[in-house]
Chains A and B, each alone.
Chain A
């Protein structure tokens, strides 16, 4: 089945297709349509929906509901996601699976409701306290708002870790054709760790506190090993890179803009290609290197270069390889024409 649907609503269709059982959230533009859709669909499908009193409340309700082994989610943006950071750290520390959707808006502070990608570090590096990481997926279409929400649930349960769907206001607000998944995912078995108030889980404990430093270090090390192990889930897609002399890269809606620029550059004879990460954490290091090693790179993003810094970190490159940034902030989208001009400059072609 196919519908022409808003990105934010596609998130909920994805969540329901994953078997999500509960939504706890607090309204904020530009993520609110996710809550609207959840409020419309969850209760009549026998699932839980609750508008919490604040984002701190919401993320702790998620912590509680996740403790019972249910598939649970929340969605927010900017300041709301900042308020949830303590909860994310607790989820990671207690190894609880949950899906958090961030429809990024502008910051810092109140900022505004326009699109930005400035919460990259917060999501990818772990915005709360402690040695932890989130799983972070970056949709770039309405279809992926649905599909990567499903994937987020899969990975969250596979690794017992919070998973963030890092979208932005463009993806949340835009509409595209969505193929609605045909079946609902089977719910994972959580008997070994969940606490459900039954005899089977009576001995289970959800906690993140360790009084003994050695035992605590062990727990931390186990988490690091888990993150290392997650690396195999890294994924990315490429477009027209085979003979490319320059690689454009970006995630989310910036990748869409970069893709338009690739086509336009090709039309004028510049061999451009696109590298688009789908997972930001784990970062697709090997995929990046096989797509871009030895080539000049132009990073397109709506932030001060947070994603570019990860390209610099992960891309093995010669001294003369260029990694440049074309960016906008404050709610402005990068213009396709500006990307084209920046790419021409890198390859040394005058318009």
Chain B
């Protein structure tokens, strides 16, 4: 029978209705949990607390703790605590983990939570092995210690050294409190009680991450009686894991403030740009392909046209090549516009191809549909026979952009040329407004690009007049 501790349920109904725990005689778990439960009850925090059980001998903490309870996957109590504490700021969140759980499989989650200073108390029970699964080596197993997976003793040259979690966490900026205590004897239990309370006070006050490592006897797996195992804890473990307070910034730590809304979704999204698409059987489905090098503005050219089509009430889709173009490779995008709902957003056989470099001209031109058009810069040599029924339209986009004083606006020059060739069944008003809005982040470029657009159009018209068309 356990001595009645406050903070626990009156009777353990989730277990069997008794008042006995699942822990072996002489086990440290029962002592630590009693300290935590009493602290929660004394501070009148039971209504405000969420307790996260680990996997292992302490998996059933929710049998005992009279507060909100969540059972976490193996190793993940810290990650679960991160999710909980950020959802209910101002509440007391407690993660309870063993040494395999926190020190091995879940180390990074605990470490990163510590590094973020997440708002929970983490109690780390170090009994130097995996207890529930049968006494295997844990990261905290001391040098030479025999376990079921180190039957000849832990060989530090092969199995690594005992992991000192407090010392590792003490390298981080964010944690508010880090301490290592023991529950091997009465004097140590009194010190542990103080550390437990400090960690929970820090949660009550919303002051960030608190970490308490507890050296805790496991008589069963150590194959010792209670007295021997308490002595082992003190005489052997403490040599590797010195007790003490490694950090206490609780007086100066800032209170974690919940996030506050400073705007609304409506404000973030701004006003409508495109209008509802209208079914128009007379408007054909047009597939367009824009291609070139990354950085030539291939994707944004397609996007301006797609946006303009959306403003004109057409059904339209835009689909980019993605990933490598950010690193300077080939870039292309497909735009489909239609008078009805669009099927495939990809364009296998374009009606219109804009090719800004030789590889893309050679790659996509052979697939252009009969009756379609290819527009490209005349600086690109055409070393293949274009498909029959396809118009090849060289247009000096590079030159036009350069002459207008904006050499980067080759894509805008192509936009003007497409419009002047009547290849875009969209009003220029929509094209120009979409073009202008595409430079929202760089307003000084709007006028210049409109000039390039107009110059490109002029070039095509003059050409047509010259050729008597």
Interface residues in chain A, defined as those with a beta carbon under 8 Å from any beta carbon in chain B: 1-4, 13, 16-17, 21-22, 24, 29-30, 40-41, 43-48, 50, 52-54, 56-57, 60-68, 70, 72, 86-87, 90, 94, 113, 169-170, 173-177, 179-180, 195-199, 201-202, 204-209, 253, 256-263, 333, 335-337
Contact = CB atoms under 8 A, between A and B. Distances in A.
A60 B92 CA distance: 19
16 contacts: A2-B272, A13-B269, A40-B268, A45-B264, A53-B109, A57-B108, A64-B72, A65-B84, A87-B76, A174-B345, A197-B91, A202-B66, A207-B62, A256-B345, A259-B341, A260-B344
A4 B92 contact: no
Given A63-B83, A205-B62, A336-B344, A86 B73 contact: yes
Interface in B286-335: 303, 306-307, 310, 315-320, 322-323
B323 A30 contact: yes
B18 interface: no
Q: Interface majority SS on B: helix, strand, loop or mixed?
A: mixed
B344 A61 contact: no
Interface in B71-112: 71-73, 76, 79-88, 91-93, 108-109, 112
B33 interface: no
Residue from A1, A22, A66 having most chain B Cβ neighbours under 10 A = A1
A134 to B, nearest CB: 17
A57 B109 contact: yes
Given A4-B306, A47-B259, A64-B70, A263 B346 contact: no
Given A2-B275, A257-B346, A260-B343, A195 B70 contact: yes
The 5 closest A-B pairs by CB, nearest first: A64-B83, A260-B343, A197-B91, A46-B261, A60-B79
A113 B83 contact: no
A50 B82 contact: yes
Given A50-B82, A180-B269, A260-B344, A202 B67 contact: yes
A177 B316 contact: yes
Given A21-B87, A64-B72, 19 more contacts: A4-B274, A13-B265, A17-B265, A30-B322, A41-B268, A46-B261, A56-B79, A65-B84, A90-B73, A177-B274, A195-B84, A197-B67, A197-B92, A205-B70, A207-B53, A253-B345, A260-B344, A262-B343, A337-B348
Nearest to A173: B322
A177 B108 CA distance: 41
Interface string B255-277: 00011111111101101111111
A45 B345 contact: no
B145 interface: no
B412 interface: no
Contacts of A204: 68-69
B86 A256 contact: no
Nearest to B66: A202
Interface stretch (B41-49, B153-161, B237-245): B41-49
Contacts of A197: 47-50, 67-68, 88, 91-93
Contacts of B83: 22, 24, 60-68, 72
B259 A206 contact: no
Nearest to A94: B71
B344 A63 contact: no
B59 interface: yes
Interface residues of B, number: 73
A4 B73 contact: no
Nearest to A178: B274
Contacts of B46: 202
A56 B76 CA distance: 8
A70 to B, nearest CB: 5
B86 A4 contact: no
B172 interface: no
Given A197-B91, A202-B46, A3 B319 contact: no
A174 B260 CA distance: 32
B82 A205 contact: no
A56 B109 contact: yes
Contacts of B112: 52-53, 57
Contacts of B59: 209
Given A65-B83, A72-B83, A195 B69 contact: yes
A24 B49 CA distance: 23
B342 interface: yes
A53 B80 contact: no
A248 to B, nearest CB: 11
Nearest to A207: B71
A16 B265 contact: yes
A176 B342 CA distance: 10
A317 B215 CA distance: 67
Contacts of B47: 197-199, 202
Nearest to B348: A335
A196 B83 CA distance: 12
A67 B70 contact: yes
B194 interface: no
A65 B269 contact: no
Residue from A16, A86, A206, A209 having most chain B Cβ neighbours under 10 A = A206
Interface string B329-357: 00000000000011111101100000000
B421 interface: no
B82 A4 contact: no
A344 to B, nearest CB: 17
Contacts of A41: 265, 268
Given A1-B272, A61-B79, A197-B92, A176 B317 contact: yes
A50 B86 contact: yes
B109 A48 contact: no
B273 A4 contact: yes
Contacts of B307: 4
Contacts of B268: 40-41, 44-45
A43 B258 CA distance: 10
Contacts of A63: 72-73, 76, 79-80, 83
Contacts of B71: 94, 205-209
A196 B68 contact: yes
Contacts of B50: 67-68, 195-197
Contact of B344 (A94, A199, A209, A257): A257
Nearest to B76: A60
Residue from B81, B92, B262, B322 having most chain A Cβ neighbours under 10 A = B322
Contacts of A260: 343-344
A170 to B, nearest CB: 6
Given A2-B272, A195-B69, A202-B68, A52 B310 contact: no
A61 B112 CA distance: 12
Contacts of B263: 44-45
Contacts of B343: 256-263, 336
